[in-house]
Structure 1
Amino acid sequence: MDIEGGEGDKAVPTTRDPTSDLDDDGRVKRTGNIFTATTHIITVVIGAGVLALAWAMAQLGWIAGVSVMVIFACISVYTYGLIADCYRYPDPVTGKRNYTYMQAVDAYLGGKMHVFCGSVLYGKLAGVTVGYTITSSISLVAVKKAICFHKNGHHAYCKFSNNPYMIGFGILQVLLSQIPDFHKLTWLSTLAAATSFGYAFIGSGLSIAMVVTGKGQPTSIFGKKVGPGGISEAEKVWNVLSALGNIALASSFATVIYDIMDTLKSSPPECKQMKQANVIGIVMMTILFLLCGGLGYAAFGDNTPGNILTGFGFYEPFWLVGLGNVFIIIHMVGAYQVMAQPLFRVIEMGANMAWPRSDFINKEYSFLSCKVNYFRLTWRTIYVILATIIAMAMPFFNEFLALLGAVGFWPLIVFFPIQMHVAQKQIKKMSLKWFMLQVLNIACFLVTVSAAVASVRGISKNIKKYKLFMYKQ
């Protein structure tokens, strides 16, 4: 039994020819599977934020650092499973598709929650593209610095402006942003996922080499030392909260989960495939997080840099440090599009609904064997330019990552999934399960607020320290 009806229509059961080229919603038959979904997940979660986890571990120490990563992974497996069950409404297997996270929230929770979700979701997506622009420029500068240090010695003055590299990255994204939709990105996601493992293993390998050769620094079960020779108690608290934000961002892919699900074939049910992809992706993610975070901390101790490949705890072999940063850049190119395409899509869908007869918005023109839409060309170009300008004004890696993680963690990974699950399963208020879900909800809310405050404080301190658009790394 399949479901007839497009977006916004009521679900009407109908018999569908299994040999048809169309899916139950009248769209071209989807062909994605568990492997492709896992690839998309890895592309999003195993980002450059992985390289900040050693710094996070240094703030938290071994016990809290490992525990927080494992706890976040367990929460993610559970709540992403709830999200997957809400892809269709009202039944997880035979219901009407929700093409976006916002649409699912609207179906299960209503209009006010729909607006709140949209503001968080697309604000987070926009912020992530800014973060990826910052990350790519830092890695591009790091390649140049690796060559400079190799030629002139480790104490040479090798500081360069990030701005030219951000502009170059922005120009490339203007071109890639003309890719029409998410379904055309599988090749880019696969390449990005492969390179993400490349730089994560390079960072881990260089850390192992330092530990094995006896150059590793002392570590602590409680993290960075407080008191004489260390940091103040207040600074320790702020750093711990920022570290939680960094870890929260590293484990997040809620912003694109329905875009990933909308690529899956409908048999077996999308929710079952996505749950398996979630488990595989999150397990792989957590293992890699623990390796990168733990090994980086073991190598550098209290002096762990914010990014183990761009902070120059490693100088040699310079070509390997450079290669790791090249991998980061390639990954950022693909991940930027994976995160930006859902934002592009919702704006263009809205414009199409508002002005359905406008040729500027809806008509495709042939140009050099490519399809060009003037609205898509114009608005996506303006968006990339604005994201690049914001990145040039605030190029602070750890603080920006922590803020993005804090903003998206509680509402997207915990609050909405729990509320939709309660509505879907009609869980009674004050029942034991309802009570336990609310305890999880409140605990994660407190983590989000604390990490957000710490991140804003860190960004404001750096803005006072550096002139806008004049930052050098």
Structure 2
Amino acid sequence: MVGAGVLGLPYAMSNLGWGPGATVLVISWIVTLYTLWQMVEMHEMVPGKRFDRYHELGQHAFGEKLGLWIVVPQQLIVEVGVDIVYMVTGGKSLKKFHDLVCQDCKDIKLTYFIMIFASAHFVLSHFRNFNSICGVSLAAAVMSLSYSTIAWGAAVDKGVQPDVQYGYKAKSAAGTMLNFFAALGNVAFAYAGHNVVLEI
């Protein structure tokens, strides 16, 4: 799964370092691949029945009522959190684009850009299924690959700079540890995809 979380990987790598960063990326990839494979296998584990929603899978595993109480709260927390992150990030991106394109224009609050992005999300959320928004999915995949390629291409082109400090940014052990945990969160966000795999 490729998404906007990829943009956080350079920052994560700067806080993890080459060795731990590469190790965390590979371990995250293995865990993500294995758990996604498990979910795909469970999708049709009962002959003649498909589990297209997480709560259905939870109800099959834990029972009719307990399955809902275990799965739905966790799913809501993840979905609401991801939606908030994407709306704020999308609003910031729209504002940045507006400020770059129209430097002489009146300054518009970030809140309005977040509301514009959220409105687009609201409209897209009312489409029937993923096939209805395949054009949006294609554009998102192309953009994700494009900005990833631009990021590493620009880094390779620029090369090692003589006046840049490439060590950890934090000046204290506690700061380095907190940045390390923040970087782990960035990597986890970059490997998202479980929230839609059953529906796909």
Structure 1 length as normaliser, TM-score? 0.39
* C-alpha displacement of 1:217: 3.2
Match of residue 194 from structure 2: 254
Q: CA deviation at 1:173?
A: 2.7
Distance change in 2, residues 1:237/1:132 (3 Å):
same
Q: In structure 1, give the amino acid aligned to 2:199.
A: D
Structure-2 change in CA distance of 1:184 and 1:215 (3 Å): farther
Partner in structure 2 of residue 217 of structure 1: 164
Q: 1:178 to 1:216 in 2, by over 3 A?
A: farther
CA contact (8 A) 1:210 1:216 kept: no
Distance 1:244 1:188 in 2: 29
CA distance in 2, matches of 1:204, 1:106: 44
Instruction: Tell me which residue corresponds to 1:190.
Output: 138
- C-alpha distance in 1 between matches for 2:94 and 2:162: 27
Paired AA for residue 81 in structure 1: W
Q: Over the residues paired in the alignment, what is the CA RMSD in angstroms?
A: 2.4
1:106, CA displacement in angstroms? 1.4
Q: Is the contact between residue 124 and residue 133 of structure 2 (CA under 8 Å) also seen in structure 1? A: no
**Counterpart of 1:123?**
77
Q: What is the CA deviation profile of residues 192-217 of structure 1, one whole-angstrom value per residue up to 9, with x for unaligned ones?
A: 111111222222222222216x4683
Q: How does 1:205-284 map to 2 (within 5 A)?
A: 205-211=153-159, 214=161, 217-220=164-167, 224=168, 230-260=170-200
| Deviation of 1:55 (Å) | 1.1
Once the 2 structures are TM-superposed, how far is the Cα of residue 256 of structure 1 from its aligned partner? 0.9
Q: For residues 152 and 97 of structure 2, what CA distance do their matches in structure 1 show? A: 18
**In structure 2, what is the Cα distance between the partners aligned to 1:135 and 1:96?**
38
> Do the aligned residues in 2 keep the contact of 1:57 with 1:243 (CA within 8 Å)?
yes
TM-score normalised by length of structure 2? 0.86
* Number of aligned positions between the proteins: 197
Classify 1:216/1:53 alpha carbon distance in 2 versus 1 (closer, same or farther; 3 Å): farther
Deviation at 1:134, TM superposition (A): 1.0
Higher RCO, 1 vs 2 (CA within 8 Å, ≥6 residues apart): 2
CA shift, 1:255, in A, is 0.9
CA contact (8 A) 1:136 1:166 kept: yes
Q: Note the alpha carbon deviations across 1:405-440, whole angstroms, 9 max, x for none.
A: xxxxxxxxxxxxxxxxxxxxxxxxxxxxxxxxxxxx
Task: Tell me if 1:96 matches 2:49.
Answer: yes
Given the superposition, is the C-alpha separation of residues 81 and 176 from structure 1 closer, same or farther in structure 2, using an over 3 Å criterion?
closer
2:96 alignment counterpart: 142
1:161 aligns with 2:114: no
Identity of aligned residues (%): 27
Query: CA, structure 1 residues 259+167, in 2 after alignment: closer, same or farther (shift >3 Å)?
Result: same
* Contact residue 89 and residue 107 of structure 1 kept, 8 A: no
Give CA-to-partner distance per residue, 1:157-211, whole Å, 9 cap, x none: xx97311211222233333333233331222211211111122222222222221
Pick closer, same or farther for the CA change 1:62–1:169 going to 2, 3 Å.
Answer: same
Deviation at 1:82, TM superposition (A): 1.2
**Structure 1 position 116, deviation (Å):** 1.6
Q: Which amino acid aligns with 1:244?
A: L
Distance 2:127 2:143 in 1: 21
- Any stretches of 5+ residues in structure 2 without a counterpart? none
Among 53, 63, 66, the residue aligned to 2:22? 66
